[in-house]
Amino acid sequence: LRNLANEAALLAAREDKARLDKEHFSQAFDRVLLGPKRDEVITSTDKRRIAYHEAGHALVAMIEPEAEKPHRVSIIPRGQTGGVNLFTPDELRIQHGISFFKAKLATLLGGRAADRIVYREPDAGHENDLRQATKLARYMVTHWGMSERLGPMSFRIGEEHVFLGKELQEPRDFSEGTAQVIDEEVSKLLREADERAYQLLVENRSTLERIVETLLVNEELDRAGLEAIVNQQPDFSVNGSTEPLADRPLIVKP
């Protein structure tokens, strides 16, 4: 299979080798058939770290009034990213305004915020969250006209489409100066969401701890379980208000 050859090539590339050997093909065979191997045993330290990360996402989503609410949160390892896939941008394109997406950004950065609060440093494990948040912020700025500085204008940001069975790469269609403003606007949205998520979790630290303890016992929590924990907490606060929870679903995959 061609796929097999590609996998083998990738493995070789990772080791910076110029030639393939049988070992690469053998490993590639396993990957193509069985999926990437995950360590079977996770230490309890790592489990706790994952739990804080996932709880961070979930709690920000529960608290932010405009955010979609999670169906379930889990720390069972599965697939590549180990936990959260919040949305597909295409599905969200219609009918949502800027505040909805700001809440989404805060939710996406909720895991990172929890890491920073508990472990005092950002964690390489949120790579995918960062990528998704950045992608969403770029869309808000370049496709949805949500930056005052850039105004009602659309920017083609070098995406590739598959069209009629071949790729058309459409190059960037704006100037370097505009690219700079776009970067600044995207950065501003992300910093604000990061700050917001951090602050929310600090204010609701004991709720965060309770979710983590429950996750370490049960490995999963559904919507009802999350609501029970959130509502019963004395320190639950959103800048002082106590919003009823909105009811749009947020898919939190384990």
Q: Return the residues of window 26-65 that contact a second copy according to CB under 8 A.
A: 32, 35, 46, 49-50
Contact characters 143-172, a second copy, x per CB under 8 A? xxxx---xxxxxx-xx-xxxxxx-xxxxxx
Asked if residue 185 binds a second copy (CB under 8 A), the reply is: no
Cβ contact 65:240 at 8 Å: no
Q: How far is the CB of 239 from a second copy (least distance, A)?
A: 19
Q: Checking DSSP bridges between strand 72-74 and strand 69-70, what pairing results, if any?
A: unpaired
Which member of 22, 40, 41, 176 binds a second copy (CB under 8 A)?
A: 176
Cβ contact 236:67 at 8 Å: no
Q: Which region, judged by CB under 8 A, interacts with a second copy, from 190-198, 205-213, 220-228, 230-238?
A: 190-198
Q: How far is the CB of 202 from a second copy (least distance, A)?
A: 16
- Please list every residue from 202 through 231 that binds a second copy, using CB under 8 A: none
Read off the tokens for 48: 């706790």
Which member of 182, 200, 208, 230 binds a second copy (CB under 8 A)?
A: 182
Read off the tokens for 63: 């608290």
Cβ contact 56:110 at 8 Å: yes
Q: Which region, judged by CB under 8 A, interacts with a second copy, from 55-63, 176-184, 215-223, 229-237?
A: 176-184
Is 64 annotated in the active site? no
> What are φ and ψ of residue 128, in 5° steps?
-70, -40
**Distance of alpha carbon 35 from alpha carbon 29, whole angstroms:** 10
Catalytic: which of 15, 40, 54, 91?
A: 54
Name beta bridge partners: 95. none
Name beta bridge partners: 113. none
- Please list every residue from 69 through 128 that binds a second copy, using CB under 8 A: 79-82, 85, 88, 90, 92-99, 101, 109, 112, 115, 119-128
Helix or strand holding residue 29 (H, E): helix 22-34
Catalytically annotated residues:
54
